[in-house]
Structure 1
Amino acid sequence: MALIDLPLLMKDAARGKRSAVTCALKCASQCAFGPCNHSDNPTFRDIASSALSRRAVLGGGTGALAIALGGTQGALAAPGNGKGNGNGNGNGGKSGALAPNGSKLRFEAIAPVEYTADDFTVAEGFDWHPIIRWGDPLFDDAPDFDWNAQSAEAQRLQFGYNNDYTEIQEIPGTNGKRAVMFVNHEYTNENIMFPPETDADDAIEIGMAAHGLTVVELERKNKNFPYSYVRGAALNRRIHLDDEFQLTGPAAGSDLLKTVDDPEGRTVLGTLGNCAGGLTPWGTLLSGEENFHGYFRSAATSEAEQRYGFADRATARGWESKHERFDATTEGYENEINRFGYIVEVDPFDPTSTPRKHTSLGRFKHEGANVIVAENGKVVAYSGDDERFDYLYKFVSRDTYVEGDRAHNMTLLENGDLFVAKFTGNSPASEIDGSGELPEDGAFDGSGEWLPLVLDGESAVPGFTLEEVLVHTRLAADAVGPTKMDRCEDVEPSLHSRRVYVACTNNSNRGVGDYAAADEVNPRTENRDGHIVEIDEQGDQTSTAFAWNLLLVAGDPAQGDQTYFSGFPVEQVSPISCPDNLAFDSVGNLWISTDGAPSGIGYNDGLFRVTLGGEARGRVEQFLSVPRDGETCGPIIRDEDRTAFVSVQHPGEDGEWGAQLSYFPDYDGQGPKPTVVQVLPQRG
């Protein structure tokens, strides 16, 4: 008997993105119950007449967002037809296709890999190396992992499950030989983690211990060798569900955040659903609490509870059966659900520091948050609410960044203004028919505005107090009329161009029945494959006006999908589906990791490079592919060293104990282990 018995509704819940098992365990099959957003915010069809009058703001026609990045752009090769697996005779990224913008990371794009393949496939001339995997011991007193002798005590000392966002920073003074790595552990799949005879209560405790965050030191001989993790290193740390987190910002201490265990409303135990994140300019890490609703049972009688997807039913993992705080129907714990859904900040260089949850950035299903210092010195953080028909947000700090003053800079996310995005297209609504076909002006583009939710430290939403805006952020945003998006996941500002890139993963309900119709920024009905939005803030990052265009509309042209790659020939791109996490290399090229391609275009998920400027703008090249059922997470690109890192999450998700579908990364016949992987040129 399975440790987690997924009801039939959950097993059949996937709607064109992930496997049903992933849906059930990652987001509590929210898609099966319909979107949480039932607001009547206008779509482009309602505001098309005003859109045309704004062409002057953008310069009109296809010139809404001119892109001109320097570097080498021409004479690029078409994607390779081979399935490079790192075992070929290439010479370590020094040959192959000419890399855009002069990047040292040269490769010939691999062919897409069929979704049943349990292989980690990389471009010719490269090898892949596991850095750390689920269960690896972090401390000197941690036991080695044993599939058949797991315990909560052991798991607390070992690397957690389902690694997602990953960041690596070199440790000063080590000549690049030592680094510290930060990793999110988003969720667990107990049915492939444990033998079926595992006691159900033990499975709960081990599963809880496998959540949270990890900080771990790495070492390498030099940049030509892969990193390995250092057991027992001074900075190694596991952050668990019983560790204290400090609430910051105006909502800290609010009656909305008080519980019987925390009558002050200022201290939360643990973090949940940690998905993507970001590195701050002062060297701390941000982690987004995403699908926290699936861990709580709630009465779900209030509008706020319903807007976040809470329900009065048993959760998949049943934590509420052992721990009262996960049952919000219990007296004294009604507000526990309000204490999750924030951006968490962690100092990886101080193992004794208390992580913080910043209420100023709002409460919703944060994919993550990424920071840039504006021209006026204020810090701007962008964040997407990862649910169908939810919104894009940005935070602008009250105070300004001070170079070298780390203590001051670590307070910048505690106070500031919060905005939500409204997009307007510059094409007539009649030209956006849901097919994904370009309008007559040759581009999906337009203007936008940031609508204030918090302005000058006060609520900007009539009928909402400041605390209500920051705790019930979705409801506050509904009230001001932003644009419903196709699942904003990672939102990354480029430090090269200062443009902002938004990964809209997909939305199978777009234009279906009474759901919001296709519009210019979400141009496809039943959007299976997703798209990338490119934003140019007008003036500076703190501006309330912006221009936008779609960089790409994803899919597989060879399968007849209606796609768009900024005008680059579709026969010369790698097929791509369900963009999720974004990153940039040292010369400003965009990299995209995917989550959902198997149920989209039928290939395993992977990591792709996208050229952003010149005649090759929009060219997509696949660098690697992860094993079956796996998601590509946390990309880190160090192209100056011709190396890249990804976190492989939930490989073999659809298997079960005794019938595993993946044996990555060890291929030892036991089962899959989520793993952080480094890819670098072959030696010799």
Structure 2
Amino acid sequence: MTIPELRLTPVSHAIGKRSPVTCRLKCADACLGPECNTSSNAHFRDIASQAISRRSVLGLGVAGAVGLVVGGAAGGGAAPAFAAKPGTAGLAFTPIAPVDRTVDAFTVPVGYRWQPIIRWGDPLFSSVPAFDFDHQTAQAQAGQFGYNNDYLDIIADPSGKTGVLVTNHEYVNPDLMFTATTDPEERRRRGEIYKAAMGMAVVEVKRRRVGDPWEYVVDGERSRRVTVESTFELTGPAAGSDLVKTAADPEGRWVKGTLGNCAGGTTPWGTVLSGEENFNGYFAWAADTAEQQRYSAGSTTSTETGWEQYDERFDAHSPGYVNEPNRFGYIVEIDPSDPTSTPKKHTAMGRFKHEGANVTIAEDGRVVAYMGDDERNDYLYKFVSKGRYTAATSTGARRKNMRLLSEGDLFVARFSGNSPAAEITGTGAMPSDGAFDGTGEWIALTRGGESVVPGMTTEQVLVYTRLAADLMGATKMDRPEDVEPNPHTGKVYLALTNNSRRTVATLDEVNPITGNRYGHVVELTETSGQAGETFGWSILLLCGDPAVTDYTYFAGFPKELVSPISCPDNVAFDSEGNLWISTDGAPSTIGYNDGLFRVPLEGDQRGNVQQFLSVPREAETCGPVIHDREGLVFVAVQHPGENGAVGAQTSYFPDYVASHSGDKVAAPRPSVVQVWKG
């Protein structure tokens, strides 16, 4: 059987935010395809009066020069002319100047240093061979750090001197992992390496004392890799339904593997949540039903990995595996303290292209998780558990807490603006009340664990969640990425990365920019409690480069004093409640490398975007983790030098020293990086 060569044909498009290579590998060219969301409910219109039958809707039935710097060096980012006063408390810094997109450097503020904790291919166990670019194997990769790390957390033990690093491995880039080949058997061998390079990693870390940088531990007792071949348990109402049964799993309760793991969150009980995002690109499927079209608009007979050529479960044309894609697109929960535990996929939290999930505890003790569906014109969701969180630290209490995400209710957001429609012009001009703001409601998709969507069963709502949200009149958003509650205030912050196809006809007050290439950030305030069903909202940031973009807005802070920022992706908070934003798409939109930015949310500095670091050329900033009281910041550097190839690389990250010394540096290596004062 012929397996297609997994090499990329250059394409010239960047109508969204990314390079063409990233678009192809990460999201299967989603921005080039037809719209997945063809519903007419968008933009604050109520579709309750539309007569849409169950059968008709569901189809149920039958580049420039490479600049080099030395890794681990002290920061050399010069203070830009627009820099406001430096930060305070544990992370006092002078903002760096934006870094041109052709520069291959990891840049930090003056007075700070950086180094990787762990890189792609670093062995987790002494029984695993050291990384050898020319002799990669699936067996070795399954025990090594995976590729393209995304979500990240550093969870310290009570001593503060040991802990675990947990991260996602979202996707692979074969052009930077292997030299070209035409040998079919070699292509299949490489396909197994791709499986082993994706998924998740738990890695033990240690340090001499609190505040020091971390180093990873070989043979850590808690270390493990979770891959495309690992076993997961389905939980919740859709587990065991006919919609998730396959020839290999007639019970519909045990799924092999996880795919497209993007952002995530860490729960109060110490587990880590991972969002399965762009899973559709790994399956050959017909897309001949409304359900399939809502998750992948086009039919496919082959994929970039070629897995469907020899692994039947990735061929959804096969009668026994039509439902296999229905087993992906969930929130995954893993216990990093127990390497023998079986990770779970929670169907009660819905199935869509999860960017991630972030948990807070409501006033009544229930668990609330916020989630974005990362595709243009898709939705913002909230899950509220049935059970209540137990703060006790006993083993029994923790086990009880680990069942909280298996049962509860799922909601989708509908936003309303408070300005006349004529004042939302698409230019960024403020409406007469001086703000883009309004109210919103959380529309129930399930209540009491049962469907409230007309014509859809509970299982259908949780497997075909996008269709359920369409029917209930959710608001189409400009690509909802990370959404997190501020632990200091309870306000919720939503990163909307961009939507270049937003038109005048589809404008609304919460998505007010036509052709929104730079993205924006929305601040939500729950007005009836964290588990309630009403909220207020306002736009905190309209992103872009104020020097060239007329409509930028930074919560009223003088725009000539802020750092340029584009395509907000992941968010985090420090001990003072400041918002931190990592970006993915700045090179293609404002011409600078992606970075990490701090944004104060209170006082006279509210809205003052300050750039802390910049990642190398063609890389995305993921993570981030802010331990400001220790003077430490962590990010995952994903797809450095993405547009290069073996023998024609555009980045040497992170092994700049080796490249200067003449040692062979075959390819850039996605890595977890720590930054500290020094």
Moved more, 560-569 or 309-318: 309-318
Letter in 2 for 1:136: D
SS at match of 1:337: helix
Letter in 2 for 1:460: V
Letter in 2 for 1:5: R
> In 2, are the aligned partners of 1:35 and 1:387 still within 8 Å (CA)?
no
Deviation at 1:349, TM superposition (A): 0.1
Match of 1:432 among 424, 430, 449: 424
Q: Following superposition of structure 1 onto structure 2, how do residues 163-312 of structure 1 map, counting pairs within 5 Å?
A: 163-172=149-158, 175-197=159-181, 199-309=186-296, 311-312=299-300
What is the rounded CA distance, in whole Å, between the counterparts of 2:204 and 2:450 in structure 1? Answer: 42
1:52 is matched with none
Deviation at 1:224, TM superposition (A): 4.1
SS at match of 2:471: helix
Moved more, 195-204 or 488-497: 195-204
SS at match of 2:470: helix
Asked whether 1:455 is paired with 2:444, we answer: no
Q: Following superposition of structure 1 onto structure 2, how do residues 20-39 of structure 1 map, counting pairs within 5 Å?
A: 20-39=20-39
2:89 is matched with 103
2:58 is matched with none
SS at match of 2:98: coil
Match of 1:422 among 414, 427, 430: 414
2:469 is matched with 477
> In 2, are the aligned partners of 1:504 and 1:579 still within 8 Å (CA)?
yes
Deviation at 1:436, TM superposition (A): 1.3
SS at match of 2:610: strand
Change (3 A) 1:585 1:323: same
What is the rounded CA distance, in whole Å, between the counterparts of 1:205 and 1:357 in structure 2? Answer: 23
2:6 is matched with 4
Q: Following superposition of structure 1 onto structure 2, how do residues 21-420 of structure 1 map, counting pairs within 5 Å?
A: 21-44=21-44, 87=74, 103-172=89-158, 175-197=159-181, 199-309=186-296, 311-404=299-392, 405-420=397-412
Question: TM-score, normalised on structure 2?
Answer: 0.91
| Cα deviation digits, residues 382-422 of structure 1 (max 9, x gap) | 00000000000000001111111111111100000100000
> In 2, are the aligned partners of 1:13 and 1:24 still within 8 Å (CA)?
no
What is the rounded CA distance, in whole Å, between the counterparts of 1:89 and 1:240 in structure 2? Answer: 38
Identity over aligned pairs, percent: 60
Deviation at 1:438, TM superposition (A): 1.1
Equivalent pairs counted in the alignment come to: 632
Deviation at 1:98, TM superposition (A): 5.5
What is the rounded CA distance, in whole Å, between the counterparts of 2:25 and 2:503 in structure 1? Answer: 27
| Cα deviation digits, residues 30-58 of structure 1 (max 9, x gap) | 111122000001425x58xxxxxxxxxxx
Deviation at 1:458, TM superposition (A): 1.1
Deviation at 1:500, TM superposition (A): 0.4
2:671 is matched with 675
Change (3 A) 1:226 1:432: same
Change (3 A) 1:32 1:566: same
What is the rounded CA distance, in whole Å, between the counterparts of 2:472 and 2:72 in structure 1? Answer: 50
What is the rounded CA distance, in whole Å, between the counterparts of 1:170 and 1:658 in structure 2? Answer: 40
| Cα deviation digits, residues 350-395 of structure 1 (max 9, x gap) | 0000000000000000000000000011000000000000000000
What is the rounded CA distance, in whole Å, between the counterparts of 1:87 and 1:364 in structure 2? Answer: 42
> In 2, are the aligned partners of 1:380 and 1:397 still within 8 Å (CA)?
yes
CA RMSD, aligned part only? 1.8
Deviation at 1:205, TM superposition (A): 1.0
SS at match of 1:131: strand
Change (3 A) 1:441 1:256: same
Deviation at 1:581, TM superposition (A): 0.2
1:73 is matched with none
What is the rounded CA distance, in whole Å, between the counterparts of 1:200 and 1:458 in structure 2? Answer: 46
Change (3 A) 1:586 1:4: same
| Cα deviation digits, residues 428-468 of structure 1 (max 9, x gap) | 11111111121111111000000110011110100000000
What is the rounded CA distance, in whole Å, between the counterparts of 1:154 and 1:527 in structure 2? Answer: 43
Letter in 1 for 2:475: T
Change (3 A) 1:413 1:89: closer
> In 1, are the aligned partners of 2:569 and 2:584 still within 8 Å (CA)?
yes
What is the rounded CA distance, in whole Å, between the counterparts of 2:464 and 2:76 in structure 1? Answer: 56
> In 1, are the aligned partners of 2:84 and 2:561 still within 8 Å (CA)?
no
Change (3 A) 1:595 1:501: same
Letter in 2 for 1:528: R
What is the rounded CA distance, in whole Å, between the counterparts of 1:237 and 1:570 in structure 2? Answer: 46
2:56 is matched with none
Deviation at 1:312, TM superposition (A): 2.6
Deviation at 1:295, TM superposition (A): 0.1
Letter in 1 for 2:468: A
Question: TM-score, normalised on structure 1?
Answer: 0.90
Change (3 A) 1:658 1:89: closer
What is the rounded CA distance, in whole Å, between the counterparts of 2:75 and 2:290 in structure 1? Answer: 58
| Cα deviation digits, residues 198-221 of structure 1 (max 9, x gap) | 721121111111011100001112
What is the rounded CA distance, in whole Å, between the counterparts of 1:444 and 1:502 in structure 2? Answer: 14
What is the rounded CA distance, in whole Å, between the counterparts of 1:281 and 1:87 in structure 2? Answer: 35
What is the rounded CA distance, in whole Å, between the counterparts of 1:657 and 1:35 in structure 2? Answer: 35
1:68 is matched with none
Deviation at 1:338, TM superposition (A): 0.2
Asked whether 1:595 is paired with 2:597, we answer: no
2:501 is matched with 509
Match of 1:608 among 597, 609, 616: 597
Deviation at 1:602, TM superposition (A): 0.6
1:540 is matched with 529
Letter in 2 for 1:635: P
> In 1, are the aligned partners of 2:544 and 2:565 still within 8 Å (CA)?
yes
Change (3 A) 1:109 1:281: same
Letter in 2 for 1:299: A
Change (3 A) 1:264 1:228: same
What is the rounded CA distance, in whole Å, between the counterparts of 1:241 and 1:305 in structure 2? Answer: 22
Change (3 A) 1:2 1:562: farther
What is the rounded CA distance, in whole Å, between the counterparts of 1:152 and 1:640 in structure 2? Answer: 40
2:489 is matched with 497
What is the rounded CA distance, in whole Å, between the counterparts of 1:582 and 1:487 in structure 2? Answer: 15
Q: Following superposition of structure 1 onto structure 2, how do residues 545-564 of structure 1 map, counting pairs within 5 Å?
A: 545-564=534-553
Change (3 A) 1:89 1:318: closer
